[in-house]
Structure formats: C-alpha cells, structure tokens
A and B are shown apart, each in its own frame.
Chain A
Amino acid sequence: MAIDFKHASFADGVLFSAQVAVPNVVQGLFRKRAPVVSAATLVHADQLAYRCTAALVRKYGADPFYVRVVAEEALLVHHPDDIRRVLEGSPAPFASDPDAKKKGMSAFQPDALTLSRGDLWAQRRSFAEAVLDTRKPTHRLARGFAAIAIAEADALLDLDRPITWDDLNSAFQRLTRRVVLGDAATDDVKITDQLAALMDAGNKMPGKPARGYVQFHALLQEYVDTPDPAALTGLFAAAPQDRETDPAGQLIHWLFAMGDTLPANLFRTLVVLAGHPLALAEVRAELAGKRLTTVKTVVGATYLAGCIQDTMRLWPTTGLFGRVTTTDVRFANGELVPAGTQVLIHNLFNHRNRTRVAYADRFAPEEWVSGGAAGDWSFNFFSHGPQGCPGAGLSIFLGQAFLGRLLTRADPVVESGPTLRPGKPLPYSIDLASLTVSFGR
C-alpha cells in the first residue's frame, strides 16, 4: 500500500476554502479588486487566513497534507524542506500552470513563461534571463534605469502634496514603460489601461485570451519592432529566441510585475519606514554622502534592499500560489503524490509562521542583509528554484533607486492609513487605497 500524506477533514476543507482559498480568489487573483480588498482588510481576512492555516498545521503536523479546496483536494506544503522539494522541481514534475492560474493568465498573457512547459519553457526562460540579466550582479542598463527611477521619484516629490496609491502607481507605470519599452512609451498610458482591463478579465478565469488581447499584443509588438537601446526592448535582438518565443508576449509579465506589484511593495515600505525611525536612519546612513546615480551606490544600499524584501515578506502580493504535478511524485519518506495533484504554498502563512520565523510579525530588514532570510525557502515572494523570478534583481534595484531618492530627499509621514510602530505586531494586510503619505522636507 502506497504511503500517503494525511488528509484534512471535510470540515477543515470547508474552513480552508472559506478562509483562505475563496478570499484569495475574490480579492482578485491577477489584478486586485480595490473595494473587495478594502472590505477584506476591514474584516481582517488575511489574519483569518493565517490563523486557519496555522490551526491546520498544528493539527496535521509538519508534513504536507491534503486539504479540500472547494471541490477537489490539494496538497498544502508548508515546511521549508518540502517547499524546496516542490520549487526545485519546477516546472517538472511541479508545473506552474495549475488550472485556475492557466485559465486566468490566458486572458492577458496566454504565451507567458509561467504557463509554458518543457522545451518551450526552457527557451522562453533563457530569453527572459538574457534580457533581464538574471545571472549578473547588475543589469547592464542599470545606470540609465537608476536615472529613470530618480526622475520619477523627483516628479512625485514635485507634486508637493500628499500622495496616494494612484499617484505612486502612475509614476511607476510610467517608469515601467520607460524601462521596458523605452522613452517613446513614457506617456503611452493606453498600454497600461489596456493591460489593466485584460487583467480584470483574467480575474474571471476565462481560459482564453480576453477581448482586446490581439490589439494589445500588436501595440506591444510595435515597440518590440522599434527597439530603444536604453530599454529592455533594445536587448531583445541579442537574446536567444525562436519562432515560438513571442518576445512581446513575454514582456507583459514584466509590465504588471514592475508596474503594479513592485510599487505596491514600495508604498508599503515607505509606510513602514515612516513608522520605524531607527530603520529609516539606517537607510539614510547607508546612503549619506553618496550619489544614487551611481550603480554601485544603489546596489550597495543593502539595508534598503532588506527593507523592500522584508515588506514583501510581511505583505506578499501573492498570498497563495500553486503548482500541479505532471507525473506521480514521491516525497522524502516515500509518500506518493499522484500526477495532476494541485500543490499549494500559502505565502501569507509561511512568511509569518511564528513557530519558524523568529521575527514573524515585525519589520526585520537586517535578516535580509546578514541573517538567514535570503536562503529561507519559506519566503517566496520571488519564488525560488528554476522558476524563481528572473527579474528579482532588477526589481529590487529599481526599488532601491526610487526609494533611496525619496528617503534621502524627504521625511515620509503617514497622513492616513494604519500606524505601523516598532514593538507592535504588524497587521496582516495594509490596504493600499487607504494610504496617504506626505513628504516633509
């Protein structure tokens, strides 16, 4: 008889579905539904989700266990060793295209790297790595990107009024268009708007490209066909590719990861630092007397990088993510997981797991600088393993340059939104729409 992992009870499955899986879907898998997120924050949905998984882990132990998610059972993996087993084994035998994700992402990036398998995945991955300089310490266009980030930060400060999420998001969308597509796209907000509409459609998981995708792709293709040497498109020609790569189809992912996800994390970082004066002083000490236009300065701001990474840990933009087994898989003690099984990794829980993470609920940038956080497989805001985010380094670099500029020029003050103070456990969610930050100079 095959050894099997434990199966959570039917009642526990109902609870997990109600408190973890469904809220995750309802808030928007790909593009957050602002009113729903605000309501979820009010009812502490993320805290309930944490408690639910924590209770299940207490009950079913350290090994993975099956839990019912609405209609079918999924394997919940939470121990860092098991998470490692899964992520090191992606995309095969743990493919990153479980059904729901595939159905949703097909709406706005049907040819995405993460939906690819086999040789096609390998080919698209090497294209992405070549353009994003994944394996290099810094991106070859970093100097220009830093200048863009600084300019956008300055523009934000020049508004000379408290800023909201929309202000920061707009600034970052502009930055993203410049970095990915080139200066010609600086004010091409149509691209951003079209992508938003497509991602909204993706939330409904249509399972096929949404209406408008073809036109959107054509628009991007125009930029690809007229590459800007100072932008990522300028690197496409030299990157390995074949007829199936679809470079325009690949950059969609970068547009939303850089334009939406990154600024969401940076806004939260700004708010945390406003309430943590000692950490803010460290950021400033690290940058004192240095010019952010120098790549070395930006890269050397490791404490600031730690601030951004720890914000990503504390409030992961992807609360729950999944893999699906492509074949039967045996785990360490011989447990057999059949092909086609959905495997879930609950970032929201793993990142705050109080029994494993000593600094679970406090702001701990130092753990990314000289602690063990970077090597901890519990933290997966950039994922890990072969399918780890190829743009992670570039993303942190842009964040360092952008926040570095803001924080060395001004004092952030939270005008509205939660008060985040050291010594108090940080909340499980921060509603971006609730935040207003002013800058004292």
Chain B
Amino acid sequence: MASIRGIITGTNAAVWRTVNKAGVPWHKLPGPAAALNLAALREDLRHDNLHDTRDDVEEAELENLPAYRTYDGTMQDPYDAKMGSAQTRFGRNFPWEATAAEEPPRLLTPSPREVSRTVFWRDEFQPATGLNVLAAAWIQFQNHGWFGHGTNDPDRVVEIELAEGDDWDGEMLIERTTADRTRDPEDGRPATYLNKVTHWWDGSAIYGSSEDQNRVMRSGEDGKMLLIDGKLPLEEDPVLAGIDRTGFNDNYWVGLALLHTLFVKEHNAICDMLKKTYPSWSDEKLFLTARLVNAALMAKIHTVEWTPGILNTPVLQTGMHANWYGALPEWMAAARFLTKAIDIEAGAGIIGSELKHHGASFAITEEFISVYRLHPLIPDDYPICDHRTGELIENVEFNDVMGNDTRAAVDKFGWTDLMYHFGTEYPGKITLHNHPRALMDHTRVTGQHLDLGTVDIFRDRERGVRRYNDFREQLRMPRITSFDKLTPNPDWNAELEELYAGNIDDVDLQVGLLGEEPPEGFGFSDTAFRIFILMASRRLKSDRFFTRDYTPEVYTAQGMEWIDKNTMADVIIRHFPELAPALEGSANAFAPWRKAGPRSGAA
C-alpha cells in the first residue's frame, strides 16, 4: 500500500517541482492546483527538511504505553520513550552543516540593535484588519506549549555596541541561550539546545511539563485544575508577583492570563462532563482524560480557526480543514477508508491516520521557533471599553497590562471587558517597522532591560538559524538577488541596502520574513509558510494521540464529541456568556467581533 502512496505523492511532487521551477509559485495557481502544489511541497519538505539532533534515539516497541499524556511527555511515542519529552533537544529543519552558530564578528554584523532601530521601529501602528488581538495572544499561548529555551545563561553575556545617537539607556547586554549540557562539547557538531517544555501539542502551557509542577496547580478533586474566585492561583515568588501560577508563565501579560484561565476553565468543564458520564472515575483519570480532550480541542481550534484566520485564503481554509477532518465528506466513507489505508492524509485528515515521523524523531525545530517570532502582532495601545456599551473605560499601554501588573489589570478591568477588547481590536500587521515600541524598551520581571527587536536578530544568529537567502535556499526557494526585490516598499529597500552595506545575502531571516510581501490573504510570508506547512502537519502526524490513539477508547466518545462540536466561540461563550452578542454572526473568533454601542459592527 505504501508504494501506491509513493507513486501518487511522488508523481505529484515531480509535477509541481517543474511548475514551480518555471517561476509559477503555488499561490498564483487556481484552488485545486494550489492545494496539490502545497501537498507536493509538504512531501518535499518532509523528505529534505527534517533532521534529527538526538543521539539517544531508541528503537524498541514499548510495553504498557499509557493511554494518556504523561506529565513530562515521555512514553508518547510507541518506540522511543524520550521522544518529544521535556528537556530534550530541539530538532532542525536544515542539515547539521547548515546550522552552525554565527561567531563574532559576523554574530554582531550588522549590529542587531541597528537592524532593530532601522527597520523594526514602529513609526505608526500598522493594523492587521482581518484579525483581533486574541489571535496575537493565541499564538504566544500555543508557542509556550511547544517550546521554551528556558532561562538564559547569566554567565555568558554579549554586549551590543550602541551606535552614536542611540538613545538606549545604559549598556545593552544580552545573555546567551543556555547551552545543551547533554552534548559532548568535543563532538565538533554545531550547538544544540534543549526544550524546557514538552515538544508535543499537549497543552503543557497550562498543565506544565513535570508532575511536580502540575500537582500544585490541581484541586485534587474530580480532575480539576485550581481556580480561586475564577482566577488562577498566583505565583508566590516575589519576583513573579501578579503572575499566574501556570504551566508556562514567561513573558506573561493579560493576553496570556485570559487564555490560560479560559482553558483551565474549559478543562474543568470537561471534567464536569466526564464526571457526569463516568461517575466512578478517580481524580487522576478524570484529569488525564480531560487533558487529552482539552489539548485536542486547542489543537483543533488552532488548525481550523486560528490558521485559516491568519492565512485567509480559500485554499488554506480547505487545506486546514482537510488536515483535521479530511477533504472528503463523512458520507464518502469508502473513499475516506481507501485514502486512509494508503495514508493520503488529504482524504480523511491527519487525525486518526497512521502515526509517522518521516525519518526524524519528533521535535520542535529552531527554524520553526524563528518563523514564529511574530512580535509585530502586539499592539502598544489598549483602549479598554465596556462590553455592553462600547464606551471607553480607560486607555492603557502594554506596560500596564504585562508582567507584575498582569493581575492588577485583570482585577481592575475584569475578564469580560478585557476579553471584549481582545476580540474587537486589531493586532499589528506582521511586517517591518511594526515591532511594538514597548517591547523595544522592555524591562522583564527579572529586571533585564532589553530591546526585543535586537534579541529577535541575535537569537537567530546565535542559534545557527540561517540568514534569509540561505534559509530560502534550504527550502528550495529562489534567492533574492537584489535589494529592490526584497520588499514591496522602495524606501525600506533603500534602508536595508545601506544597513547591510549592499550585501543581500547578509539580510537577516527576521528582516526578510517581515519585509517579504505575503501571498494574498496571508498574514505572514510565504517563506515562513514553508516551515509552517511542514510543522503544522507534523505536530499532528507524529503524535499518537492525534493519530493511532485518537479513538473513543482513549478519549471517550463524549470527549471526541466535545472536540468535534466546540469552537473557540463556544469556549468563550461557555465561560463568558455575556460576550455572546459580540460574537454573534462571527464565523471565526479570531476575526474582529461585533462592537457594542451606537456604532456597533465589526471593528
């Protein structure tokens, strides 16, 4: 059967390689052809762009696989107990030889601070009018479930030289990413880094990545997570004052507080449903099953709502729906069965299909992390309005709703008006000259003062993520040959040419990604999208709880129904019913909601 699949996908890939080489990109093709082209691109990416960094891969069928997600992500793969677990290495989308970290002077050339000041500085807020701020918070929420490099190394600090005229207060120091202590420093291979959270799409952002961490967030009854007066418990460490105790609370702000609390409430609602259905179940069984359901619901919302929201084209609408449900309708049972048998995922969807890793153990990759640096999404201004009348309550800034001020903001405005704000206002457009000003002069709860734009550039270089043209080449995309083809804005191109001293191949990845004109309807670049189509499918395809164990025996029939029937809007309205009027008529909860008041309507 595999050979049938090989013939079909191989032929498809060969056809589209030829078409693309002839200069016709996938997004210029009509719908069905574009969909086939994307399937071909994914096949090539699976073949060429998955590289294992681990040297402790095991290959023996495991016995007594748990029918639930473990706290640290071990025992999830049927053959490799450690795969995807917390404290294991990030993978790569490019081969070892193309992942070497940059060393000085290249590491600091051109100065990451100058790149940030020149092309990231938000002169004027550029909104993404097809989305709401909830979409911005959502991707950060999901990212925190997929990856985290952990605390940086305070003993290895790089000083960024400041140009004349730079008004940065004091010296600019960046702590380097903590090294991978599991590596033999003498093996001569490029540096690798450890993921402090589980790589799996398992909701670790709210559940944590170890049992100890998880236990303190549990109520101990009926599988539920702890909520105190409808809020998460607060951290006890004075440094983290005002920040929720949750699975991942780095870079915390109200956007995350809203979503973490919302999905803890959802977890508890799922527990209620399961307890009603299976009254004899213990706290632990209820918790573990509710976690499975809640994580899958988040994955579904991300796949069929958030993604088509930010990549708003008919082919992606169809494609992401197909990733989850399959393109063939339920009544075409025989055809769905056939496509499932030969593992053509588009037919019956990835969900419930055969588990596959495509030659490399599952891990979030450094390149994936780079393309998800979407900081321009964050606005600087937050006009909080009354959800009933639409009247302005107060204009606040990002710094008023983040870090140690998070809980105070929640207490001051309340969940409903905050959620209403996130639903009705626009996020920033993912482009150059649109980094949030607050984050370019940002003091973290630890007291570190940083410019996130500078950090965005520095991290890619430090971690050996290729610069823009090399990155494209690794993805079999054409190199950009001159600055006038870099962005659609001639002024920006001129700025960049001067900044990079005319060396187009030196342009940083983040600069290229933000400058590139996205395909029509897309919220981000086609280059970033290549990593996306590979990894978005892989997060599902490599996870046994989305493939072979996506069954009623594991999830319960009621749990699967919960995943199937609920949308982001359902979740919001379940816990904030007063927001139902704002969501009325909304086809996607990540698109701007209806505004209250005399000038009611979409934002």
Contact = CB atoms under 8 A, between A and B. Distances in A.
Interface of A: 276-278, 281-282, 285-286, 303, 358-359, 362-364, 366, 369-371, 421-423
B278 A278 contact: yes
Top 9 A-B residue pairs of the complex, sorted by shortest distance between their CB atoms? A423-B552, A285-B280, A422-B557, A422-B552, A366-B277, A423-B557, A370-B276, A366-B276, A362-B557
Contacts of B558: 359, 362, 364, 366
Given A366-B277, A366-B278, 7 more contacts: A278-B278, A278-B556, A281-B278, A282-B279, A303-B279, A362-B557, A366-B279
Nearest to B560: A423
B571 to A, nearest CB: 16
A118 to B, nearest CB: 44
12 contacts: A276-B557, A281-B278, A282-B279, A282-B280, A285-B279, A359-B558, A362-B558, A364-B277, A364-B558, A366-B276, A366-B558, A423-B560
Contacts, number: 43
Contact of B553 (A277, A359, A364): A277
Interface residues of B, number: 14
Given A362-B557, A423-B552, A282 B276 contact: no
Contacts of B556: 278, 422
Q: Is the interface of A mostly helix, strand, loop or mixed?
A: loop
B149 to A, nearest CB: 39
Q: Is the interface of B mostly helix, strand, loop or mixed?
A: helix
Interface in B305-362: none
Nearest to B550: A423
A423 B551 contact: yes
A404 to B, nearest CB: 15
B279 A421 contact: no
A50 to B, nearest CB: 15
A407 to B, nearest CB: 14
A303 B279 CA distance: 9
A371 B276 contact: yes
Nearest to A366: B277
B561 interface: yes
A277 B277 CA distance: 13
Interface in B540-598: 551-553, 556-558, 560-561, 565
B276 A422 contact: no
A369 B273 CA distance: 12
Nearest to B561: A362
Given A362-B557, A423-B557, A369 B552 contact: no
Contacts of A276: 557
Interface in B237-290: 276-280
A254 B556 CA distance: 38
A422 B556 CA distance: 7
A422 B277 contact: no
B300 to A, nearest CB: 16
Given A362-B561, A423-B560, A281 B553 contact: no
A369 B279 contact: yes
B280 A422 contact: no
Nearest to A288: B280
A158 to B, nearest CB: 29
A423 B558 CA distance: 8
A192 B551 CA distance: 45
Interface string B420-447: 0000000000000000000000000000
A51 to B, nearest CB: 12
Contacts of A277: 553
A421 B560 CA distance: 13
Contacts of B560: 423
Nearest to B277: A366
